Amino acid sequence: MEEVLTFFQENANVKVHPAVHLKLDNGADGRKGYGLNINLQKVQGLSHKNDDLILLRIPHNSTFNIETTLRLVRDSSQFTSTKAFEKTDKIRQEMFKKFKEELVRKSFQYSETIFMTFYFILFDCLKTMYDLPKILTYYLNTVLLPTRINNISLFDKYLLSTYYQYSIPTVTEETIEKLYSFFADNFPNQIVSMGSIRQIYGAIISRCLEIPQEINRELDDCTVMTTLVPILDFVNHDINLKNAHYDIDRETNDVILILERSALEKYKRTNVRDIEIFIDYGQTENVLPFALTYGFFPSLKTSQYEVWNISFDRDFLKNSKGSLQNGNLRLFYKWFGINPVIQLVRIKEKSVYSQWYINDSSHNFIDLLLPFLPSFEGNSGSCWKYDPETDSTFTYFCCHNDTSKVKSNSEEDSIVTAFKKAIENKEQDGNDIMNMPPLAWSFSFYSKDHNKICQEVVSKNEAIGILQDCLEDDMYLQAISSFLNFLKDYIIWRIGKLEEGILAQNSIPGAESVSFQLHNYELSILRETQFALSSNSENFTSDCNIELTGAIDRYPPPLKSSPH
């Protein structure tokens, strides 16, 4: 693979330190992969004691993001002739226009990553019949297509069935299927392989870096671009072995890779002559999205938090009531637009991990407690009541808000029918949010102003306000207790589902998929949490005065569609 370094030095003006070379090595999962190494014997003395060592310098125009890729394919000098450029440019514009129209027609969310994937799949389809910039085809054929991937882009029925509620697997599969459908339809005379589309998508998401790009130098403003950076994307991640970092040269906008001086001094005191370069990919505290993107599990550094988000299985919620007398948790959370996720947190001190705690300081936690509130009347009932005939309520407001337009009985009946159908569809679809006022739920609470129990339709924020008034009362403690009982039941159910998935995957020879790893990893988390809940009264971060900092409050987004 040394020829890759040579190619980009000769054709993309990439500057590579003479001590840097690519090396094939065993990855963390036991499979071979390339990393970037440095031969310390070739490192010359530095001019200043505190200097870091620049290992790579990649010009901005030699990186691949939406802006630079379009600039490259719009540059006729990158093609063998003007005629060849015009031929390629015509089909490129036609395909991109069709693709955008397809995304809009299907109301599909798009991103920089999707457009980058679209272009490289398009280049793969065009490369045998059309002229393309040499640097693009080389990067596609030598880096993206041969890259070993083990991430979410590989179809895995166990991953989709067990982790659909985390949104990422479902969205990824929908994206890949839409890309395949588009290219299969538009290149009917060509074999468009689902495998190559998965390969390109998986390679891009695992190799992309978030590169800052200056907007206003005087104000120090910048934006972040999803970018493929040749050569730099061979550098592997290890938070504990990290010895380098990448940055932007503000004068030239080049991307530079820097070996830290402290690491260099440390290596000079040893007999090591050849070392691998490691950087930090970031967001290692949230294991699930990291593993799904990169295909391996990150190690943690000392005093670093690790989080695991439990996104409750939507089918389980359908069959759970919490403290509700009628309805179910799935319907409740949908109507109030509550993302059914809790966050577990643990911290690593030196080499020792704490137990897992429930993060009750998160903005989402108190939302989840709402359906577990007991009756304000002191009985075993619930303060919530679900009305399955809420279509009549919607019709009433629709017909009587505007008194200038009195509706006939037949008109009201047709409105009732329309609302009934709309509500049934929304309650049963795979979306997590109804996007309708929560008129199906009434809330019975003690009103200090009226000194009596009142029953009203309330918004989520109004209900939270009432709950927060009860934080010191037994009602809040009862809600916590009911929620913990629900969580214990869920953990038992979830452990069974994970064990089934592990048993099924054990029958696959050499199973090393990210899905198999995730099943085992989550299983260990849930068993530890199950033990803590049964034996420890300190189950929340607030019990231990743990102060959470950083990007700890990240959750899987609500589902916009799923089969559940």
Q: Tell me the mean pLDDT in the region 423-439.
A: 91
Return the beta strands (E) in 468-518 as ranges: none
Q: What is the pTM of this model?
A: 0.88
CB 453 within 8 A of CB 446: yes
Highest mean pLDDT among 246-260, 280-294, 483-497, 536-550: 483-497
| pLDDT tens digit sequence for 273-282 | 889 999 988 7
Tell me the C-alpha distance between 65 and 211, whole Å: 9
Q: Tokens standing for 100? A: 């955008």
Q: In the prediction, which pLDDT does 303 show?
A: 60
Alpha carbons within 13 A on the beta-carbon side of 354: 22
- Residue 372 in this model has a pLDDT that exceeds 50: yes
- Residue 49 in this model has a pLDDT that exceeds 70: no
Tell me the C-alpha distance between 277 and 258, whole Å: 10
Question: Which burial class, exposed, middle or buried, applies to 493 when counting CB atoms under 10 A from its CB (0-12, 13-18, 19+)?
Answer: middle
3-state secondary structure at position 128: coil
Q: Binning pLDDT at 50, 70 and 90, where does residue 206 land?
A: very high
- Residue 92 in this model has a pLDDT that exceeds 60: yes
Tell me the C-alpha distance between 278 and 243, whole Å: 6
Tell me the C-alpha distance between 53 and 43, whole Å: 9
How many Å is the Cα radius of gyration of the chain? 28
Q: In the prediction, which pLDDT does 48 show?
A: 46
Residue 114 has φ and ψ, to the nearest 5°, of -65, -45
- Residue 227 in this model has a pLDDT that exceeds 90: yes
Helix (H) or strand (E) holding 409: helix 409-428
Q: Where do the H-state alpha helices sit in 60-190? A: 66-73, 82-105, 112-126, 134-139, 157-163, 168-186
| pLDDT tens digit sequence for 393-412 | 777 666 666 555 556 677 77
Return the beta strands (E) in 312-429 as ranges: 341-349, 352-353, 357-358, 384-386
Alpha carbons within 13 A on the beta-carbon side of 160: 12
- Residue 339 in this model has a pLDDT that exceeds 80: yes
Tell me the C-alpha distance between 467 and 369, whole Å: 9
3-state secondary structure at position 342: strand
Tell me the C-alpha distance between 500 and 502, whole Å: 6
